[in-house]
């Protein structure tokens, strides 16, 4: 069994393996990052470390303005970064055999590692390493 944090980007359900999660932070104060692209909400102090906070819905083109007050901090082995979502839901257990590979169909879809059916709803499992790589490509295009 694997544990997955469920969250939403717009109306679309996503999940992140708990192994790729360091912490969920309640309403951190965010500080302006000079010259940062608009896909960053700001920076936060996380136990003495300054982390950029990605507006994941905005980065994926879901600019409806709704954001959960909590932010998700990625595990340190991935990247020193946090991100916002439309809503953070709960942690669930699932059988790894229930996950099906996902074929990429475009830019935002490269961030989906696999999918699983939970109570009739297809959940996209976020590819955290793919997200970090996508941000690196994004920053290279901006230079």
What are the pLDDT digits (tens) for 108-136? 557 898 998 888 889 999 999 888 888 88
Structure tokens at 61: 């083109």
The residue range of the domain holding 30 is 2-142
CATH number at residue 8: 2.40.50.180
pLDDT per residue over 31-51, tens digit each?
999 999 889 999 999 999 999
Query: How many domains does the chain divide into?
Result: 1
The b-or-e profile of 22-55 (16+ CB within 10 A means b, else e) is beebeebebeeeeeeeebbbbbbebeeeebbbbb
Q: What is the pTM of this model?
A: 0.88
């Amino acid at each position: 069994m694997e544990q997955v944090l469920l969250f939403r980007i717009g109306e679309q359900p996503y999940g992140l393996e708990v192994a790729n999660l360091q912490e969920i932070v309640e309403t951190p104060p965010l500080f302006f990052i000079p010259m940062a692209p608009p896909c960053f909400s700001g920076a936060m102090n996380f136990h003495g470390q300054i982390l950029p906070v990605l507006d994941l819905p905005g980065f994926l083109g879901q600019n409806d303005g709704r954001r959960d007050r909590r932010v998700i901090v990625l595990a340190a082995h991935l990247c020193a970064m946090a991100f916002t979502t439309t809503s953070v839901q709960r942690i669930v257990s699932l059988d790894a055999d229930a996950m099906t590979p996902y074929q990429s169909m475009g830019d935002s879809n490269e961030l989906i590692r696999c999918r699983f059916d939970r109570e009739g709803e297809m959940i996209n499992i976020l590819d955290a390493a793919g997200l970090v790589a996508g941000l690196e490509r994004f920053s290279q295009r901006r230079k």
